[in-house]
Amino acid sequence: MNGYEEVEIKQITNLTTAAFDPTWTDDGRIVCVALENLKFQIRMIENVYEKIEKPNFVQKINYQTIDKNHWDTPKIHGIQKVNVTTYRGKYDLDIAQSQISTDPIFGTVGGAAIALSDLLGNERYYILIYNTAQTKDEILKSFNIAISRVSLSKRTNFAYGIFHLAGRRYDLTDPDLFYYEKAYGGYFALSYPISVFRRVEASIMLNRSDKEILFGVRERKAMLLSNSLSYIFDNSLWSPTGPIDGKRFNITLAYTTDIQFSNVNYYTFIFDYRHYFRLSTRSAYAVRLTLFYNEGKEARRWFMGGSWDLRGYERWSIRGKKLWFVSQELRFPFIDKFDIKFPFGGIFIGSIRGALFFDTGNAWDNKYTETLGSVGFGIRFNIGGVIVLRYDVGKRLENNLSKFQKSFFHQFFFGWDF
């Protein structure tokens, strides 16, 4: 105690973080280390003696009143000031993209996509505008617009929006069916996280749909009310080309009905399960089990085929109201780095991955026909962390997996591994 019964503790700084290893300098300053923004920083406190003479707060300590066995420094008490500032979102443009395309069936169409968000990314707006008119008198009739807002500021995320979509369509689920459809309405969706890896989603959409079959006289009007409820789990760990560990699955129940004309009435069941068994640091055995089911009046058909699911078949060539699909894939490192240097630059491609796959499944309406399949090898490589290019080569399995295709198929497309 050095003969003193009372001492003073003085606060001379307003640091919001701890000060480590303070050291005095010869000219009366203090140098210390502070941790802030996940970085160690060197701080210097100026005019230390002046701050000691005029401290922010002073706390006197009487040694006679301190428990000698459990000595602790009393807290410094001061006047707490709280400044409340209302956060007002300032929105900036994230994406603004326009596009013009020419199609052999629908002709030339054009449009734009716009995305805005606030500084924290809590509130987001998405706007889609395009037109499918082929003549001047169809400009207003074929005008399409969709506006959505997504709010992520609270634990329960929600989204809502309105849309007006009109124009000529070609129904992939019914070959050679051309029709004109005008659909407008709105939707509301909720997403509630049960934990870090689990969430529950629900949505409701009211949609007025007027469909006119081209090259015929049939018309269909409907006021569609769609409700869906989903349970989602995802703890997957990703590599440069897709998941390599963990699992993901989605179970969805939905019901769509025409509440005005009773022209449409069907229910939907979705089960999509994916499991990734880690074999080593960069290799895994991946399995996907899928069952899609639509049943009822004017139930929409599912479709598959192509590099994203049943490989070896033309994209979207397999269609039906009921669909099942199983995919197995052995993923492994193929080439870690591919680098070519020229005098004026170079080409660098990293993380090229390989895959051995076996796919099987089919889609049908009322009567199941046969089981389709494919087996082969593929390579994938990531470009700039934005897009993954895929190349697959293999053979189809036909006649209920009893016969190999005579020649090899080759498919080149893009997209992450399932």
Q: Who wins on pLDDT, 102 or 111?
A: 111
Does 65 have pLDDT greater than 90?
Answer: no
Does 177 have pLDDT greater than 70?
Answer: no
How many other CB atoms sit within 10 Å of the CB of residue 320? 20
Q: What is the pLDDT of residues 115-162, one digit of tens each?
A: 999 988 899 999 999 887 777 777 777 889 999 999 998 999 999 999
How many other CB atoms sit within 10 Å of the CB of residue 48? 17
Helix (H, G, I), strand (E, B) or coil at 399: coil
What is the pLDDT at residue 139?
A: 73
State the average pLDDT over residues 67-81: 63
What is the pLDDT at residue 133?
A: 75
What is the pLDDT at residue 339?
A: 78
Does 247 have pLDDT greater than 90?
Answer: yes
What is the pLDDT at residue 384?
A: 74
Alpha-carbon distance of 121 to 117, in angstroms, equals: 6
What is the pLDDT at residue 1?
A: 43
Helix (H, G, I), strand (E, B) or coil at 50: helix
What is the pLDDT at residue 344?
A: 78
What is the pLDDT at residue 103?
A: 60
What is the pLDDT at residue 105?
A: 54
Sign of CA dihedral 89, 91, 92, 95: positive
Alpha-carbon distance of 388 to 308, in angstroms, equals: 12
Q: Convert 270-312 into a string of H (helix), E (strand) and C (coil).
A: EEEEEEEEECCCCCEEEEEEEEEEEEEECCCCEEECCCCCCCC
Residues written for the chain: 418
4 — pLDDT class (breaks 50, 70, 90): low
Residue of 271, 323, 316, 373 whose CA lies nearest to 174: 316
CA atoms within 13 A on the CB side of 107: 8
What is the pLDDT at residue 206?
A: 97
Alpha-carbon distance of 159 to 150, in angstroms, equals: 4
β-bridge mates for residue 356, sequence order: 330, 377
Do the bridges between strand 284-297 and strand 107-117 make them parallel or antiparallel, or are there none, so unpaired?
A: unpaired
Beta strands in 139-260 (DSSP E): 143-151, 157-170, 178-193, 198-213, 219-234, 237-239, 242-258
Please state, rounded to an integer, the average pLDDT across all residues of the chain.
Answer: 87
71 — pLDDT class (breaks 50, 70, 90): low
State the average pLDDT over residues 216-233: 89
52 — pLDDT class (breaks 50, 70, 90): confident
Burial label for 359, CB within 10 Å (0-12, 13-18, 19+), is buried
Q: Who wins on pLDDT, 288 or 55?
A: 288
What is the pLDDT at residue 67?
A: 59
Cα dihedral 289→295→300→303 (10° resolution): 30
Among 5-19, 113-127, 238-252, the range scoring the smallest mean pLDDT is 5-19
Alpha-carbon distance of 8 to 73, in angstroms, equals: 11
Among 3.40.50.2020, 3.40.50.970, 2.40.160.50, 3.40.50.620, what is the CATH number of 235-418? Answer: 2.40.160.50
What is the pLDDT at residue 174?
A: 54
Give me Rg for the CA atoms of the chain: 32
* Residues 6+ away with beta carbon under 8 Å from 386: none
Alpha-carbon distance of 279 to 305, in angstroms, equals: 28
**Structural domain boundaries in the chain:** 6-65, 92-220, 235-418
Does 192 have pLDDT greater than 90?
Answer: yes
Alpha-carbon distance of 355 to 193, in angstroms, equals: 33
What is the pLDDT at residue 179?
A: 78
pTM of the model: 0.74
